[in-house]
Amino acid sequence: MAAERFSLEGVAAVPGVPKPDPVVVIDDLGRAFGGIQAVDVAHLEVQRGTITSLIGPNGAGKTTLFNVLTGFDRPQHGRWQLNGGPLVGIPAFRVARLGMVRTFQLTKSLARLTVLENLMVAAKDQVGESFWGSLFGNWRPIEAANEDKALASLERFGLRHMAGEYAGGLSGGQRKLLEMARALMVDPEVVMLDEPTAGVNPALTQSLLEHIKNLRRDGMTVVFIEHDMDVVQEISDWVICMSQGRLIAEGPPGEVARNPSVIDAYLGKHHGEIT
């Protein structure tokens, strides 16, 4: 979308470059496992309302970065914030409530809950979810409103006919859709998708990408990890490339794809050199 891309026009394609309206800001973030520095990012900003792809070879630290940002992992050092509010030391469930919701590389469908229940459980501000509220609270009207919202969402994701089925009975691709629909029930500002298209057939991938574009249209910021460069080129406003825990390039998709250090990281150094 041209309008969104325009918001990043004139931003230099340099790692760590400041953005006009950053929603996520990371500073001096380090996460090591033993002697391996999994993430080592000096500075990174994510522009609000864009689709930002996070690419890089296996082991580049993309998922670790996701884990740290969403409170699922603790780094050795660093600061990171959402909408200007610090997220350091905030537990995962609170990060989600603050508006940053993630999905997982290996889908985590709640197998023995129905598809509808999978969405209902994600809804915010249900008084019946507190212990005393469940016994004495008037939660049924909220439940009815949430159910309407959940059914509408299932309709949009083409899962309406599966609403009463156990989520464990869905196909791999349907689970990816379910996980995305479920994350949206939290009404997030920032959606972090960890390889949403992995293991999904091409037709379903297209429909997933349409859903991701719709998130941007609805004003959300999407950060997603992706390996398929065609997908990245098609929908990203901005691309960030990591390698061995470091930020090696960022910029508009076309520019990053031509960046020599990105090509090196993916194909190995010295490719094509005749010695």
Partner 1 sequence: MDLGKILIDAGRAAVGVPAAVYALSAIGLNLQFGYTGLLNFGHVASMLVGAYGLAITVDQGGSMWLGIVVGLILAVLLGLLMGVPTLRLRADYLAIVTIAVGEILRLVVRSRFAAPLTNALSGIQGFADSFYDLNPIPVGQYGIGTFRFDERLTFVLLVGWGLVGLTTLLIRRLTRSPWGRVIRAIREDEDAARSLGKNVFAYKLQSLMVGSAIGGLAGIVLAIAQQNVGPDNYLPLLTFYAFTIVIVGGPGTLRGPIIGSVIFWFVFSFFDGFMTGAVTEGWFGDLLDATDIGPIRFALFGVVLMWLMTYRPQGIFGKREELLIADGR
Task: Summarize as ranges the residues that interact with partner 1 (CB under 8 A).
Answer: 70, 72, 91-94, 96-97, 101-104, 108-113, 117, 120-122, 124, 126, 128-131, 133-135, 139, 143, 166, 168-169, 182-183, 185-186
Query: Closest separation between CB of residue 234 and partner 1, Å?
Result: 26
Q: In the structure encoding, which two tokens stand for residue 149, read together? A: 């919202």
Query: Closest separation between CB of residue 117 and partner 1, Å?
Result: 6
Q: In the structure encoding, which two tokens stand for residue 193, read together? A: 């998708």
**Side by side, which strands form the sheet with 100-102?**
100-102, 190-194, 221-225, 51-55, 238-243, 246-251
Q: 22-33 and 36-47: which strand pairing? A: antiparallel
What backbone phi and psi angles, to 5 degrees, belong to 192? -110, 110
Query: Closest separation between CB of residue 133 and partner 1, Å?
Result: 7
The number of helix segments (H) and strand segments (E) in the chain equals: 11, 10
Judged by beta carbon, residue 87 or residue 185, the one nearer partner 1 is 185
Judged by beta carbon, residue 55 or residue 101, the one nearer partner 1 is 101
Judged by beta carbon, residue 57 or residue 133, the one nearer partner 1 is 133
Query: Closest separation between CB of residue 93 and partner 1, Å?
Result: 5
Calpha distance 260→244 (Å, rounded): 16
Judged by beta carbon, residue 54 or residue 185, the one nearer partner 1 is 185
3-state secondary structure 122-140: CCCCCHHHCHHHHHHCCCH
Asked if residues 54 and 225 have their Cβ atoms less than 8 Å apart, the reply is yes
Query: Closest separation between CB of residue 69 and partner 1, Å?
Result: 12
Judged by beta carbon, residue 9 or residue 93, the one nearer partner 1 is 93
Judged by beta carbon, residue 119 or residue 241, the one nearer partner 1 is 119
Q: In the structure encoding, which two tokens stand for residue 241, read together? A: 């490339």
- The tally of CA atoms less than 13 A away on the side-chain side of residue 270 is 2
Query: Closest separation between CB of residue 45 and partner 1, Å?
Result: 23
